[in-house]
Amino acid sequence: MAENKAPVISAVGLSKVFRDFWNRPKAKAVSDIDFEIREGEVVGLLGPNGSGKSTTVKMLLGLLYPTAGQLAVFGRSPRTVAIKKRIGYLPEESYLYKYLTAMETLDFFGSLFNLSKTERRNRSEQLLDMVGLSHVRSRRVGEFSKGMARRIGLAQAMINDPSLLILDEPTSGLDPLGCKEVKDLIMLLKKRGKTVLITSHLLSDVEDICDRVIILYGGKIRAEGPLNDLLTVTEASRITTPAMQPEITEKVLKILRENLSGEEFNIDHPRRTLEEFFLDVIDKAKAESVTTSGVVNSGRIAEYLQEDDKAAKVLAGLSASGDPSPEVAAAKKAVDEKQEQQKIKQENLRIQELTSSLTVEKGPEKQAAAEEFSNLKSEKLSEANEKLKDLLN
Ligand SMILES: Nc1ncnc2c1ncn2[C@@H]1O[C@H](COP(=O)(O)OP(=O)(O)OP(=O)(O)O)[C@@H](O)[C@H]1O
Ligand SMILES: [Mg+2]
């Protein structure tokens, strides 16, 4: 249970007051709030516009100083550099460098976490595939639609395989299929023991994935608790059965009338949500191979984000006596196939690298062109670095 787990975030008396030029209080964004988030929890931070969600998130990231109160992330100040490495953050507005391509964007953020070149490339490829942007890897992110920018932002938040993910409006601008994928991904991260804090106005999304919610209004916590406790209406009961014949319905109604002494009740048919219906329509279109020029959802989760899961399945199979179950055999086969594909991919990349270095050796002209290209790239990266420094200060 979450109560026994270590606290990942703990805030006591946390407050933030924005002041004007003359140091007069301008806005009390967060007002004396206490909360704790434990390892493995998925928590929704909700509230209307201007209620203090983003301000709280920025304090958790060490981007804003609290005016009062204590705040610890993994037991330390959120401004500690080592702590930042364990956090993945999706900002409310995507801060992307419009001249970098999708691949270069992920590579850049990977380099901020000192990942090796191979690791950066592997993770970037897996993430692009996962968020449905593989086919636009070489397009500049400045040309991306809102939903595409959200997707690359999500991929960027996961490049360091963080223990704590803070997602400010992760599903805003995404189509229902994208929302579903983000929700599935969050559930998978939860299964891997990650802690996730989400802010969102899309309450049905929050309801689907969060264990617990904190509702802010005017910078104060107005309600907090597990969704089950908050949303279950214990004063009413509901029984769902297969569609009933009229004579059975009549019998049930008779029993209810006799026993409920005049209290009102109703019988109706359960409804699917619009999301379920929409996803069904799209699945059918896909099954009929209808083409689209939009985002191509792979439905695959980046391998490095789910390794533990796979390993657990295979280990379970190895420790079981006798023949492995079909599920385990399939998992083993999938792992073997993936490893084989990975090997071939790495081999291809190595060949590409070798070929490009051979081409460069051929003549001074090509050497100069290659140098120009790499200067251009490092210029872009240092420009991006400067902007990022500005944002963090
Ligand atoms: N940099 C700032 N300077 C002055 N006031 C600010 C600043 N940032 C936020 N505020 C104020 O703090 C309050 C809380 O803002 P915040 O951005 O945290 O709200 P939010 O809950 O994230 O809202 P939304 O749902 O619209 O994103 C608002 O009154 C806002 O005007
Ligand atoms: Mg906000």
Residues 58 and 30: beta-carbon distance below 8 Å: no
CA 139 to chain centre: 23
Cα–ligand 1 centroid distance for 226 (angstroms): 26
- Sign of torsion, CA 380 381 383 384? positive
Mean pLDDT confidence for 270-276: 75
| Nearest protein CA to atom 4 of ligand 1, as residue | 18
- Between CA 155 and CA 2 the distance in angstroms is 27
Cα–ligand 2 centroid distance for 87 (angstroms): 18
pLDDT of residue 1: 54
Fold of 2-231: Rossmann fold (3.40.50)
Query: Which among 3-7, 154-158, 366-370 has the top mean pLDDT?
Result: 154-158
Listed in sequence order, the residues at least 6 apart from 172 whose beta carbon sits closer than 8 Å to its beta carbon are 150, 200, 201, 202
222-256 b/e with 16+ CB inside 10 Å = b?
A: eeeeebeeeeeeeeeeeeeeeeeeeeeeeeeeeee
Residues 148 and 295: beta-carbon distance below 8 Å: yes
Instruction: At 29, give phi and psi (nearest 5°).
Output: -75, -40
Name the pairing type of β-strands 25-38 and 7-19: antiparallel
> What residues are paired with 38 via a beta bridge?
7
Kindly state the helix (H) or strand (E) to which residue 362 belongs, with its residue range.
helix 326-362
| Nearest protein CA to atom 3 of ligand 1, as residue | 18
Cα–ligand 1 centroid distance for 16 (angstroms): 10
The model's confidence at residue 381, banded by pLDDT at 50, 70 and 90, is low
Query: Which among 7-16, 270-279, 333-342 has the top mean pLDDT?
Result: 7-16
Using a 6 Å CB cutoff, which residues line ligand 1? 18, 26-27, 29, 47, 49-55, 92
pLDDT of residue 34: 97
| Residue 64 alpha carbon, nearest atom of ligand 1 | 1
| Nearest protein CA to atom 7 of ligand 1, as residue | 18
Kindly state the helix (H) or strand (E) to which residue 318 belongs, with its residue range.
helix 303-319
Q: State the DSSP string of 32-53.
A: EEEEEEETT-EEEEE-STTSSH
| Residue 55 alpha carbon, nearest atom of ligand 1 | 18
pLDDT of residue 392: 53
Q: Is the pTM of this model over 0.75?
A: no
For ligand 2, a single-atom ion, the residues with CB < 5 A are 53-54, 92
Mean pLDDT confidence for 201-211: 88
Q: Which of 33, 53, 198 best tests ligand 1's pocket when mutated (most atoms within 8 Å of CB)?
A: 53
DSSP letter for 355, please: H
Residue 158 is which amino acid? M
Cα dihedral 223, 228, 233, 238, rounded to 10, equals 160
- Sign of torsion, CA 104 383 141 45? positive
Show the tokens assigned to 342. Answer: 């990975």
- Between CA 210 and CA 183 the distance in angstroms is 10
The string of pLDDT tens digits covering residues 48-63 is 888 999 999 999 999 9
73-99 b/e with 16+ CB inside 10 Å = b?
A: bbeeebeeeebbebbbbbbeebebbee
Mean pLDDT confidence for 159-182: 88
Show the tokens assigned to 286. Answer: 């896909």
* Average pLDDT of the chain, as a whole number: 80
Query: Which among 107-121, 188-202, 283-297 has the top mean pLDDT?
Result: 107-121
pLDDT of residue 315: 38
Q: Which of 24, 30, 51, 216 best tests ligand 1's pocket when mutated (most atoms within 8 Å of CB)?
A: 51
Mean pLDDT confidence for 98-110: 94
- Between CA 147 and CA 158 the distance in angstroms is 17
